Chain A
Amino acid sequence: MSKKIVHYINQFFAGVGGEEKADIKPEVREGVIGPGMALNTALKGEAEIVATIICGDSYFNENLEEAKATILEMVKKYNPDLFIAGPAFNAGRYGVACGTIATAVKEELNIPAITGMYIENPGADMFKKSLYIIETGNSAAAMRTAVPAMAKLAIKMMKGEEIGSPAEDNYIPRGIRRNYFADERGSKRAVNMLMKKLKGEEYVTEYPMPDFDRVEPNPAVKDITKANIALVTSGGIVPKHNPDRIESSSASKYGKYDIANFADLTEADHETAHGGYDPVYANIDPDRVLPVDVLRDLEKEGAIGKLHRYFYTTVGNGTSVANSKAFAAEFAKELKADGVDAVILTST
């Protein structure tokens, strides 16, 4: 008996319509539609697409929770061996939808799931760590190369075979580093790499440099005496007893707290939730990490306009770059909306 696959595509690839139909709700149809036909052929009888779920890109992204729940229910009914979404090529909303639903199927239904995208699709960056995303060209013209690669990986996963390197199995590198014993020792590899570099020949670095997100400082605040200044910290200062239970390490959340009534933070009202440094001095006087007292003085002296009513806080200890970015993206919007001119960011 061949294995069962459920396929997810958007309104465009289902032939329902373009942007004007992007708001259609999820629906399921038996058998294959659109790119599923080519996929089915490429699966060479090892597996078969038993159903296709179609959803409008706008609907999915604007009704995320609802769409996800509905589609998960649909998938569950077929109890497939694998779930394939897309390929989405360079279609941004479609890519995000494919990544979101494939991740949900994998994590909530425990069914292996893959998708395919162009490397610059925003969905690729969002989901490459949680999913195998076959790297495709940037338009549907690349369907011919995308389909066999997706089918090959799908078969491997269903058979429980070991997944090769990104180059071997054509997926977008997930950023997972794994050890192996090379044929030659490192010194020899280094000398050989240098020889190629000297000759201007092609060589492959063993560790591509990550993109460090270096932030250029903003220009100085024009008139600090009028500025509304907010405090933000990764030093874990929270109201006493950590009401939102921010983790002491690998934080999954941040807190927003009102300091309108505080001229000074003390042991009685604030503490640190941070598990990565000696907390004694921060707990005795939380102003050491979140300098509310000094900013109140400056406010009184007229050296700054005012101290913003809320501070934002999380724990930096072991917290991933991805989480930190997501926190800041969210509260930076609020800070802007609240008319904050400048932020003092303290760490430990």
Chain B
Amino acid sequence: MRLELGKIFIKDVQFADTTKVEKGILYINKNEMINELSGNEHIKSIEIELAHPGEEVRITPVKDVIEPRVKVEGPGGIFPGVLSKVDTVGSGRTHALKNVAVVTAGKIVGFQEGIIDMTGPGADYTPFSKLHNVVVIAEPIDGLKQYDHEAAVRMIGFKAAAYLGKIAKDLTPDEVKVYETEPLLESVKKYPDLPKVGYVYMLQTQGLLHDTYVYGVDAKKIVPTLLYPTEIMDGAIISGNCVSACDKNPTYVHLNNGIIEDLYEKHGKEINFVGVIITNENVYLADKERSSNWTAKLCKYLGLDGVIVSQEGFGNPDTDLIMNCKKIENEGVKTVIVTDEYAGRDGASQSLADADPKADAVVTNGNANETIVLPPMKRIIGTTEYVDVIAGGFAGSLREDGSIEVEIQAITGATNETGFVTLSAKGF
């Protein structure tokens, strides 16, 4: 499967009469965009605001972050099984608006939505402070149940990204990158001497607003299966997560997964990157055992020499991570796991809820319990009303002057476990 990803680099985003891209500037007709997103019976009102890198702006509570993309050639459309038909995506050509994202915000759904600061110390911890953010604030009708609320805001986010993405269809990309993965037997024939490497992509599926969808299927209900890496670049996997902001995978991260990108960098040269095994993180022991048995089985079946396993979330899924690692290693496949830590605010406690000597190659994306003081910002997009109750906040997090003391757990993307950021932790 071969995908050309055309990138259009956006330098600025402004409201205007017509939605278009000109000389690297994205212009948005706000009313037209709001009309496009309206009509959901569960949503009372929609507002759109812009936030630029370096501005004194705080966005919260953040639900999802999504990069605008559009399918230009090849089967299917972006977000198959959700916005588009369920055609198998990942081949042909796709265009992406780079340096820009749709951010969904508005009244809280769960307790675990996040903060994006566009400047100051908090901005260093979120990868999304470097983007021009088109923030969609969707307010629910009164008395709406959490599940319906989450689903409504999730869909509005994808529609917003698709609305902006479709402008990119006729644009000439500034850069085109080609990603190609051959069918297994062909790739083995083509690269007989290269080690076969896979990526085990754990998807958060604990339920109660901790869900991920694959071609529109709730990933709780899948058994581990295989995807071409390029399918994910076309939105085959989307986030339905309201879990801790720091280590959830927003849809933006699925689309731009760093492990996939960095494995492709070495593909055909030092390794043969044969594909992605997706698996879930369910709460029942039988599900955990079945899924980890299957990931190990698939690794062996594909004849892999090595895999990288990434986690999403923490605590309960630590057991899935360790089960995957242990069982894959037991099949003789060399494993690196990517996680984050909950070592307490003083960093003195055990970081994971499970451990195994086989997990001898770990990449950590930092201790989520470390606290930070976020200074007051001139403009708040959304509301800081919920800062005390989101995961990582505590009674008194929001101070009278508008500054916020929280664990970095509350910052969107801070300890992302696909290694999307540079934060890490060391033992002292």
Contacts and interface: CB of A to CB of B under 8 A. Distances in A.
Given A165-B428, A173-B428, A177-B425, A190 B419 contact: yes
Interface stretch (B2-10, B104-112, B233-241, B331-339): B331-339
Interface string A159-171: 0000101100000
B118 interface: no
Contacts of A184: 422
Interface in A91-135: 129
A274 B261 CA distance: 48
A176 B419 contact: no
Given A175-B348, A175-B427, A197-B336, A206 B362 contact: yes
B308 A190 contact: yes
A185 B363 CA distance: 10
A186 interface: yes
A205 interface: yes
Contacts of B352: 207, 210
Contact of A177 (B266, B338, B426): B426
Contacts of B261: 187
Given A186-B421, A194-B306, A207-B425, A176 B355 contact: no
A181 B341 contact: no
A280 interface: no
Interface string A191-235: 101110110000101111110100000000000000000000000
Given A174-B428, A186-B418, A198-B305, A321 B339 contact: no
Contacts of B258: 185-188
Most buried by A among B262, B341, B367: B262
B252 to A, nearest CB: 14
B336 A194 contact: yes
A2 interface: no
B426 A209 contact: no
A166 B266 CA distance: 33
Most buried by B among A181, A189, A191, A205: A191
Most buried by A among B258, B419, B421, B423: B419
A178 interface: yes
A191 B422 contact: no
A194 B308 contact: yes
B197 interface: yes
A178 B347 contact: yes
A179 interface: yes
Interface in A299-334: 320-321
A181 B346 CA distance: 18
A189 B363 contact: yes
Interface in B338-378: 338-339, 341, 343, 346-352, 354-357, 359-367, 370
A182 interface: yes
Contact of B422 (A173, A183, A210, A321): A183
A163 B363 contact: no
A179 B367 contact: yes
B92 interface: no
Interface in B229-271: 257-259, 261-263, 265-266, 270-271
Given A177-B426, A190-B363, A195-B271, A185 B308 contact: no
Given A176-B347, A195-B271, A187 B428 contact: no
Given A176-B348, A187-B259, A210-B350, A194 B419 contact: no
B289 interface: no
Contacts of A186: 258, 338, 363-365, 416-424
Contacts of A195: 266, 270-271
A116 B75 CA distance: 67
A184 B421 CA distance: 8
Nearest to A206: B364
Q: What size tier do the contact residues of chain B reach?
A: 35 or more
A180 B355 contact: no
A181 B124 CA distance: 9
Contact of A207 (B195, B307, B351, B408): B351
Most buried by A among B124, B352, B362, B418: B362
B306 A197 contact: yes
A165 B321 CA distance: 28
Contact of B424 (A176, A179, A210): A179
A182 B408 CA distance: 17
A211 to B, nearest CB: 8
Nearest to A191: B262
A310 to B, nearest CB: 31
A180 B338 CA distance: 16
Interface string B270-313: 11000000000000000000000000000000000111101000
B426 A187 contact: no
Contacts of B417: 186
Contact of A182 (B262, B306, B418, B424): B424
A189 B419 contact: yes
B360 A209 contact: yes
B423 A179 contact: yes
Contacts of B416: 186
B295 to A, nearest CB: 16
A193 B339 CA distance: 14
Nearest to A212: B355
A179 B263 CA distance: 26
A188 B416 CA distance: 13
Contacts of A180: 423-426
Nearest to B421: A185
A165 B262 contact: no
A174 B426 CA distance: 11
Contacts of A174: 348, 427-428
Contact of B338 (A166, A190, A208): A190
A40 to B, nearest CB: 28
B351 A177 contact: yes
18 contacts: A174-B348, A176-B347, A176-B348, A177-B348, A185-B422, A186-B365, A186-B417, A186-B424, A187-B259, A189-B424, A190-B310, A191-B259, A194-B336, A197-B335, A208-B427, A209-B362, A210-B350, A320-B349
Interface of B: 124, 195, 197, 257-259, 261-263, 265-266, 270-271, 305-308, 310, 334-336, 338-339, 341, 343, 346-352, 354-357, 359-367, 370, 408, 416-428
Interface of A: 129, 163, 165-166, 173-191, 193-195, 197-198, 203, 205-210, 212, 320-321
